[in-house]
Amino acid sequence: MANCISAASHALAGRAEPAQRAMEHLRRLDPALCISAVKDWLSIRRPEDLAIFCEGLRRAGLPE
């Protein structure tokens, strides 16, 4: 979870390099991880918050 937050936060802040490094680490831990899977185990309740978080993950390079 921490790597997801790090990747999304860096990406949303415009820090592409740290976002990419966090995403690479995350993908090494779970190569099959994708945005639809993240949505299943997140406890973000407000749809607009989930949309922002998922956008950060997209920008960091996580596939759908």
Q: Could you read off the pLDDT of 4-63 as tens digits, one per residue?
A: 999 999 999 999 999 999 999 999 999 999 998 888 888 888 999 999 999 999 999 999
Return the ∠ at Cα 1 (arms to 26 and 13), rounded to 5°: 80
Instruction: Please tell me the distance from the alpha carbon of residue 3 to that of residue 7, in angstroms, as a whole number.
Output: 6
